[in-house]
Amino acid sequence: MGDKNARVPAPHAMPPLTFVLADPGSFGGRTSALLVVKRGRIVAEYHQEGDGIHTAQRTFSVAKSMAVTLIGHAAQQGAIDVKAPAMIAEWQSPGDPRAAITTEQLMRMASGLTSDTAGNRTDAIYMGGGSVRQWTTQWPLLARPGTRYRYANNDTLLATLSLKTARQKAGAPLDPAAFFDRLGMTRTFVEHDKDGDYILSSQVWTTARDLARLGLLYQNDGMWQGQRLLPEDWRRFVTAPNGPQPDGAFGYGAGFWLLDKSDGIPADAFGAFGNRGQYLIVIPSRELVIVRQGYDDDKQRLDIAKLVAAIVAADDPS
């Protein structure tokens, strides 16, 4: 909580990581911030020239993992059942097959809803003034829920709408800032549309240290300062690859990516991934949290598996 004494004093930090900080570009991409936390203390920290510990940057899809964290907190309080049908008012007409879609299926990108493009671009919401509800609730069902993986911004936005309704029914409005403040994430800002619906698929601004705090919540299995903020099995739940999986090097849980197939990385590693090189990686078995923020493009991309493997190799598990 706070920044005082957050760092391990030199020379007791992680000397082998000096090579990472000396040239973060050697792993590809354009790094703006890099943070390594071991047992709750910062052992390595880098910020590009002109930035500092309070420089907030857009999370892109790392926000999706923040959304499922807010859902987990509501589940801990008994306000939502993620295995029940999502609470989307526009789907409740008699005979609408979308009424069967659960919040969990939305979290796992397995809704079966139509996506017009890969990731179903939501520029109309992000930059065009369109509302979350107007844009996300209109799409028809294309596949039976739970049978197809299709990465979609809409799925997370719909899960957040379900969360908002659940919170309202429980008499406690959805308030991301209040939750993040409890973690000391006081430099984190969540955008909302003109109707007050939060755009938790991409539009969050935060610092590397704030992201590390979110990672520590998961490293601590949902406990924070002696209080349980997430259900006891939540970390296992969001990192379990139940249901259809994406092609490629990384698996998918419920709002988090899985690094269990990557060489040199412990099998329990998981993370939040965002466009242009935003990453939050948690490795509970090593008590490691890694944050990387960047401005990557098609020509310059970080190899996140290579970076994480290098940090793991430099880590002394003792």
pLDDT in tens, 37-87: 999 999 999 999 999 999 999 999 999 999 999 999 999 999 999 999 999
pLDDT in tens, 234-273: 999 999 999 899 999 999 999 999 999 999 999 999 999 9
Specify the CATH number of the domain 15-57+207-314.
3.40.710.10
- Judge whether residue 318 has pLDDT over 60: no
Mean pLDDT of 10-16: 63
Mean pLDDT of 148-172: 97
What global pTM score does this model have?
0.96
Mean pLDDT of 208-214: 98
- Judge whether residue 15 has pLDDT over 70: no
pLDDT band at residue 24 using 50, 70 and 90 as cut-offs: confident
Give which of 40, 45, 43 is closest to 2, Cα–Cα: 40
Q: What is the pLDDT of residue 22?
A: 73
User: Looking at this protein, which amino acid is placed at residue 122?
Assistant: T
CA distance 158 to 198: 10
pLDDT in tens, 261-307: 999 999 999 999 999 999 999 999 999 999 999 999 999 999 999 99
In the chain, domain spans: 15-57+207-314, 65-169
pLDDT band at residue 317 using 50, 70 and 90 as cut-offs: low
